[in-house]
Structure 1
């Protein structure tokens, strides 16, 4: 059975199924809360488009929303059950229908960006959260770019203010955000050091880091080096130790945290940095990624010029989302884990 979506008329409009396969969670917990279900295909509202999803991506944010941790996020996303029952934000796919007033895109366009509920065959995205896919870039590579790439861009450029010749330290350098932060800082002409596990050192150097430090054997804060910019991704190092390896006018940008317990998730560390910044020349702080289209075209340009490459290294089909999450939480993923949705 099929039905035509009620959207802005188009001669090229695609007839889509009434239902679709999606990964759905009805509560919080481990991977066991994720189930494949057949549900209704969503219809785009004003300023939105409907995408046939080719690929999505997995990161720590997906895990946090699956687990409902830290508890601090639940008032925003649902106290006992998630308001958005389909996980996934990163998306790459094809526009199949336009909502009223959806400008800048046409049916058939290949796009990538952010769409809530991308672990499904179809997903709705606002026109401000997607952009056109560069020629020659696969859906899988593109799906690994949006959330982590945008976050890294804000950390390195918008908040870090990276400059050529600066010394930059990136912790969590083999992960989603960290891998792009290394590339962006190196492309800006900085001398980059990455902190990651020893088995991922070659991967970190392949992204543009001049040096990779194994956090399992070396505490980077015990070394004599000083940095103009530290991008601390999901860091576990105490704030004071990071500050002491900054140059006198250096900047620390904290991106997330994984060591603050089930209640706060370490957010107090971010606020502590902001408070401490008031009493020093150093710039210490954090941010919440805007997840809009503003920097997506710049990411696309950097990919086209070769200054940035996708860090998609692991591919799994939609049916294997649970296994993909296990790989992520067990530290087996380098860069980004892609979920293939379309065959």
Structure 2
């Protein structure tokens, strides 16, 4: 029989961060409303990252008016693949990933063919505000499709995996990789069926995996054992995440990073209201780590490298971190 008091005490023992406390204690305290546009507007985030010399996917074009849609095909002509996304979207809504076919048309990464009318209609819907926060008119961003590092080939269905890092005052406190599935239509979106794999901060090794908040051992489409995942260049990736704190002026944020075959870690986007499923993927609560960071004196004087070193030392799992140094070239 379900015992709500016992369940509550279990959650407290694990140090699980709930939505209300997240909103009041961390988002409300550390994120000023005046800087939300730095992350809620993906185009502004991209331009800001460029000024801070933080790598992002190549910008191919921007559609600002319905009239601009007539230039869409000339903008993407010759592209090896592209992404159309709303600048002010959230939750992965309105994002489509397309690649060229042999007959000069385009298809989704799932292999489903799309017509020119479909692409133009989708762009029009973005501009109309169908996917934007508050339903306000938006602009459509067209980016070059990331060429994913092959280290995730065995663990992803067609799309591009991304790595979410929760950062408090520049200190990485928890991370996971989100793996596309057939069910998620090749998107790394947990709400649509992607897999969340917890990652040890010390080593980048997998700590557990979930799909729709339920434990998972093997990727449902590839059959690969998810516990074997280990991310390369882990310390470099965490340092990039740490640098996004002064760049965005947000104290508590989610940093989404992809591994590009040629460029290495690349910033995909920032989130001022990161979700809490990352705790389930890691079988670990955020609260103890957040409180540990809050106790650090003169944290503002520490460099990104020093903050990452602190996190890797204090938040690592001994069983996950003992095998291989974090920044070796060991493949996943």
Scaled by the length of structure 1, the TM-score of the pair is: 0.24
Scaled by the length of structure 2, the TM-score of the pair is: 0.25
Would you tell me which structure has more helix in proportion to its own residues?
2
Would you tell me which structure has more strand in proportion to its own residues?
1
